Chains A and B, each alone.
Chain A
Amino acid sequence: MVEQLLELARRKADAAEVHLLETEARPIQFENNDLKYVNTKSSRVLSLRVIHQGRLGFASTTDPSEPERLVAQAVESAQFGQEARFAFPPSAPLPAVEVFDPRVAEFPVERGIQLGRDAIARVLGEFADVQCYVEISRSVGTERLVNTSGLDVQQRTTGFDCGLTAVRIRDGGILWVSDGESSRALAANFGRYTAKLIADIRRAETESPVPAGAVPVLFTAKAVGLLLQFLESAVNGKLVQKGASPLVGRLGDQVLGTEITIHDDGTRPFGDGTAAFDAEGVPARRTPVFERGVLRNYLFDLQTAGMLGAASTGNAGRGFAAVPTPEATNFVLEPGSATFAGLLAGIERGLLVDEVIGGGQPNVLAGEFSVNVGLGFLVERGELVGRVKDCMVAGNVFDLFKQVRGMGDTQEVHGPIVAPPVCFDGVHVAGGE
């Protein structure tokens, strides 16, 4: 169907690109400590992008039976489309990347069910009054991309997502803790998330007062992800091209502290965002974004790069049935030299923040954040005292990353974000009495 569609499109448009993505996922869901659903979800999306008379057109479908209609739709949209500032790329050598784990492809449903049952039994063995939710899903995807410049590439990928959530209601208050991972490889040790949740639930049994004002705050590797998303938007080629990013025109400038080195790494073995080629067929690579705090690169797809006279960094992504747009692959913050215990020990009075509630931040582009602390603990004289509730932390990501107090020496992977724990000075806390 791909070849036939490309041939049809070639006759009606000056240039064309066909993308086919087929996936099959098998999610298993446990709710309230019991198995609830076993699902099979297969989907297929066929997308056509054309360049006709210098303009871009696009259409997509799950139904390959009407290729003429798809071509007509794409060509019609090219009447109005944006001026194309690139040509579809020819073949280029692709890096050897690890994106397919046969253990995931062959992972039996029964084993997923067992993993979920074991995890729940372990949590319930410690706390009888907890409700657990588990989701384990494995998927296999086949992606093919061909264009009229002669590109014809294909990749098979696997995905393994596992997550465990525990809810505990005591004295009218609710504790909600969650952890897990998503990767292209089989989760080596699901048990460690179970252990972490058990430790969290136990630590949260004591409640502590909220410290007021600006205090040191240690963000766990998981919580650092929130802050990195702000940096990711600031280097997104689209926001740079629109002039909306505050980092426009700052290439080569010292914009963050010298401790901060971040790569966008599309080649990281089995990373959630790893692929041999991006959504436009550009080979994957490892791009320095910030080196010792100096801004080195923005992340581009072909069109945004073409508009700014730059080259694609292999960062084209595709939402479901959507046009390519720049997005990070794996966003990796290099570790520092402090141990987690050392970071904690250095706090006289402050907070440890592990989970935040704060979707839809008002001013992502400016780096301003203000979030509820979903799971956080008071730290006094280097010791965890108890859980803090009803409190918010606020600050500016660009300011905070200029004055990092310390960075952990061990990274954790949370989906496409890879980071160590980071401790900042002077984070504003509200909610104290």
Chain B
Amino acid sequence: MEELLKNALGHARADYAEVRAERRTTTRVTYAGQELEDISSFTSAGGCVRALVRGGWGFVSFNDLADLPRYVRLACEQAELVGRTKSLLAPVPPAVGSVAAKVAADPRQVPLAQKEALCRHYNQLILSRPRVQTSSVRYRDSWAETTFVSTDGACLSQEEVFCGASVAAIAKDGMNVQRAVKSVGDLRGYQIVEGLDPECEKVTERAVALLGAEPVHGGRYTIIIDPALAGVFAHEAFGHLSEADFVYENPPLREMMQLGRRFGADHLGIVDDPTLPDEAGSYRFDSEGTPARRTHLIRGGVLTSRLHSRETAAKMGEEPTGNARALNHQYQPIVRMSNTFIKPGTWALDDLLADTGEGLYVRGTLGGQTEMEMFTFSAEEAFAIRDGRRAERLREVVLTGNVFETLANIDAVGNDLEFYGGLGGCGKGEQSPLRVSTGGPHIRIRNCLVGGR
């Protein structure tokens, strides 16, 4: 394979060119309500060529490697149409060698019947509870082998095995429909999808309990968010702004995200780290062959670094960080996060609640959206905080705000730290879901806007 790719690149008329070839097999099992909606496998084989000519990119993705020389030519011709300046890529040592996946329990060795039986068991557990209208149980594993060759001398094979599952309960009372979900997924192996009975119980209880909750009143609140929501906040609201492709050719944004700018109090730290072992966003080399490394985005409340591809690093005069990732062979690498988290502080949760007095305790997220500096998150569950204690349950809690104001409004950071991977992932451009994890401690935010009536 490597020789085939190298030979094809030999004819590239470009300042830089690369080929990625990939083979990926995915197994899916999905229960929804009583029905097994999907039990299937998908094999994807293909590749892509990316060429850089005078600063312009041409990209071609395909299924048949047999036509590779033609695709290399096409990518170079397309880059020719774009390029008008100078090609700039930060130098990295050429990645050579192979990286094998290592999982404790290998999902490829588990018979399909066993995966189906596990999902059926979780599904029945959820459906057997009163007031549960329907359920969703999803299992997915994937095994990918990628070969990467570039005109800069890279020749790298990487293997990855991902495995995960999600369990969800939907409870309904007339027009009131509530759902609760738990998702796990990372590079550890099949064992992480086993033993989820307690999670099934929890989502079932939560969905039913939400039926009886009162909708929240819209307004501004002091809120405490849990590690799950803190992690999503770090990734969605802040992390995307620290992706260099967002700012590198945009002078006003570059100024807004200038290194050294203070974003929060001294206790605030945010990190992206693909080198954590076996988390959902972990890897050894990114899709450009740059070695993975830990990046401190915010340290002591101050912006200290950002995430780069080789191109953004060169254009900003900073070091490449190994964050250029492609979802699969159909896409070009773009700057992405990996495992992104808020660093823990000193507060115990009980002290934080007691100190807060009145406010909202908001846990998890069902989803959200960000647009530049503005973010919106739907909470998975929420409680009023009254007299320094967790009080009644509330529903339809949607948080919104400006990320810069919100980071500055974080006035207490908890002493815990948890990571969340799962079947979801990050979406950027059309590339979704890319495996990532997010994490953090409990944190308190003052003056946060919550939607509602």
Compute how far the CA of A62 lies from the CA of B78 in the bound complex, rounded to whole angstroms.
Answer: 25
B38 within 8 A of A: yes
Chain A residues with Cβ below 8 Å from B402 are 390
B176 within 8 A of A: yes
A154 within 8 A of B: no
Q: Which of B175, B250, B367, B451 contacts A131 (CB 8 A)?
A: B250
Surface stretch bound by A, among B186-194, B285-293, B368-376: B368-376
Chain B residues with Cβ below 8 Å from A43 are 46, 61-63, 330
Also in contact, A60 and B40, with CB within 8 A (given A131-B252, A169-B256, A243-B133): yes
Surface stretch bound by A, among B270-278, B299-307, B393-401: B393-401
Chain B 357-386: CB-based contact to A (< 8 A → 1; otherwise 0):
000000001111111111111110000000
CB atoms of B38 and A58 under 8 A apart: yes
Chain B residues with Cβ below 8 Å from A174 are 372-374
Chain B residues with Cβ below 8 Å from A400 are none
In this complex, which of B56, B215, B376 has the most chain A Cβ atoms within 10 angstroms of its Cβ? B376
Q: Which of A35, A238, A363 contacts B32 (CB 8 A)?
A: A238
CB atoms of A359 and B368 under 8 A apart: yes
Q: Which of A36, A394, A398 contacts B175 (CB 8 A)?
A: A398
Compute how far the CA of A143 lies from the CA of B2 in the bound complex, rounded to whole angstroms.
Answer: 33
A41 within 8 A of B: yes
Chain B residues with Cβ below 8 Å from A77 are 39-41, 112
A150 within 8 A of B: no
Name the CB-closest residue of A to B67.
A42
Distance in angstroms from A60 CB to nearest chain B CB is 5
Chain B residues with Cβ below 8 Å from A35 are 56, 81-82, 84
Q: Which of A37, A63, A361 contacts B378 (CB 8 A)?
A: A361
CB atoms of B74 and A40 under 8 A apart: yes
Chain A residues with Cβ below 8 Å from B38 are 58, 322-323
Chain A 106-130: CB-based contact to B (< 8 A → 1; otherwise 0):
0001100100000000000000010
Chain A 358-382: CB-based contact to B (< 8 A → 1; otherwise 0):
1111110111101110100000000
In this complex, which of B61, B116, B170, B398 has the most chain A Cβ atoms within 10 angstroms of its Cβ? B398
Also in contact, A367 and B250, with CB within 8 A (given A40-B78, A357-B374, A430-B219): no
Chain B residues with Cβ below 8 Å from A238 are 32
CB atoms of B252 and A59 under 8 A apart: no
Chain B 259-301: CB-based contact to A (< 8 A → 1; otherwise 0):
0000000000000000000000000000000000000000000
In this complex, which of A31, A246, A368 has the most chain B Cβ atoms within 10 angstroms of its Cβ? A368
Chain B 119-134: CB-based contact to A (< 8 A → 1; otherwise 0):
0000000000000011
CB atoms of B452 and A430 under 8 A apart: yes
B233 within 8 A of A: no
B450 within 8 A of A: yes
CB atoms of A36 and B57 under 8 A apart: yes
Query: For residues 165 through 205 of chain B, which have their beta carbon under 8 Å from a beta carbon of chain A?
Result: 170, 172, 174-179
Compute how far the CA of A361 lies from the CA of B75 in the bound complex, rounded to whole angstroms.
Answer: 40
B37 within 8 A of A: yes
B341 within 8 A of A: no
Chain A residues with Cβ below 8 Å from B74 are 40
CB atoms of A430 and B450 under 8 A apart: yes
Chain B residues with Cβ below 8 Å from A431 are 218, 449
CB atoms of B175 and A366 under 8 A apart: yes
B346 within 8 A of A: no
CB atoms of A370 and B452 under 8 A apart: yes
Compute how far the CA of A37 lies from the CA of B61 in the bound complex, rounded to whole angstroms.
Answer: 13
Compute how far the CA of A82 lies from the CA of B37 in the bound complex, rounded to whole angstroms.
Answer: 7
Name the CB-closest residue of A to B43.
A61
CB atoms of A362 and B378 under 8 A apart: yes
CB atoms of B177 and A363 under 8 A apart: yes
Also in contact, A38 and B81, with CB within 8 A (given A80-B112, A363-B396): yes
Chain B residues with Cβ below 8 Å from A113 are 81
Compute how far the CA of A42 lies from the CA of B70 in the bound complex, rounded to whole angstroms.
Answer: 13
Q: Which of A167, A367, A371, A390 contacts B449 (CB 8 A)?
A: A390
Compute how far the CA of A39 lies from the CA of B178 in the bound complex, rounded to whole angstroms.
Answer: 43
B36 within 8 A of A: yes
Also in contact, A37 and B46, with CB within 8 A (given A323-B37, A392-B449): no
CB atoms of A39 and B332 under 8 A apart: yes
Compute how far the CA of A40 lies from the CA of B56 in the bound complex, rounded to whole angstroms.
Answer: 14
CB atoms of B46 and A242 under 8 A apart: no
Also in contact, A428 and B452, with CB within 8 A (given A41-B330, A60-B40): yes
Query: For residues 30 through 73 of chain A, which have their beta carbon under 8 Å from a beta carbon of chain B?
Result: 31-32, 34-44, 57-63, 69-70, 73
Chain B residues with Cβ below 8 Å from A44 are 63
Also in contact, A37 and B59, with CB within 8 A (given A359-B368, A374-B371): yes
Compute how far the CA of A322 lies from the CA of B283 in the bound complex, rounded to whole angstroms.
Answer: 27
Query: For residues 301 through 327 of chain A, which have their beta carbon under 8 Å from a beta carbon of chain B?
Result: 321-323, 325
Chain B residues with Cβ below 8 Å from A257 are none
Chain B residues with Cβ below 8 Å from A169 are 252-253, 256
Name the CB-closest residue of B to A55.
B36
CB atoms of A81 and B36 under 8 A apart: yes
Query: For residues 428 through 453 of chain B, which have their beta carbon under 8 Å from a beta carbon of chain A?
Result: 449-453
B392 within 8 A of A: no
Distance in angstroms from B448 CB to nearest chain A CB is 11
Chain A residues with Cβ below 8 Å from B330 are 41, 43
Chain A residues with Cβ below 8 Å from B79 are 38
Chain A residues with Cβ below 8 Å from B178 are 363, 366
B58 within 8 A of A: yes
Distance in angstroms from A19 CB to nearest chain B CB is 13
CB atoms of B372 and A176 under 8 A apart: yes
A76 within 8 A of B: yes
Also in contact, A360 and B378, with CB within 8 A (given A35-B82, A430-B219): yes
Chain A residues with Cβ below 8 Å from B82 are 35-38
CB atoms of B332 and A37 under 8 A apart: yes
A251 within 8 A of B: no
Distance in angstroms from A209 CB to nearest chain B CB is 15
B413 within 8 A of A: no
A244 within 8 A of B: yes
CB atoms of B374 and A372 under 8 A apart: yes
CB atoms of A359 and B175 under 8 A apart: no
Name the CB-closest residue of B to A175.
B372
Compute how far the CA of A393 lies from the CA of B398 in the bound complex, rounded to whole angstroms.
Answer: 11
Chain A residues with Cβ below 8 Å from B373 are 174
A-B contacts, 30 of them at CB < 8 A, read A37-B59, A38-B56, A39-B59, A40-B75, A41-B59, A42-B61, A42-B62, A58-B40, A60-B43, A61-B42, A79-B113, A80-B112, A82-B35, A243-B33, A244-B172, A246-B175, A321-B42, A358-B398, A359-B368, A362-B395, A363-B177, A363-B396, A365-B177, A370-B396, A372-B376, A372-B451, A390-B400, A392-B400, A393-B451, A395-B453
Please give the residue numbers on chain A whose beta carbons come within 8 Å of chain B beta carbons, in ascending order. Answer: 31-32, 34-44, 57-63, 69-70, 73-74, 76-77, 79-82, 109-110, 113, 129, 131, 167, 169, 172, 174, 176, 214, 238, 241-244, 246, 321-323, 325, 357-363, 365-368, 370-372, 374, 390, 392-395, 398, 428, 430-431
Supply 14 further A-B pairs (C-beta < 8 A) apart from A34-B249, A35-B82, A43-B63: A37-B58, A37-B59, A38-B59, A42-B61, A42-B62, A60-B41, A60-B43, A61-B44, A77-B39, A167-B372, A244-B170, A372-B400, A392-B376, A428-B452
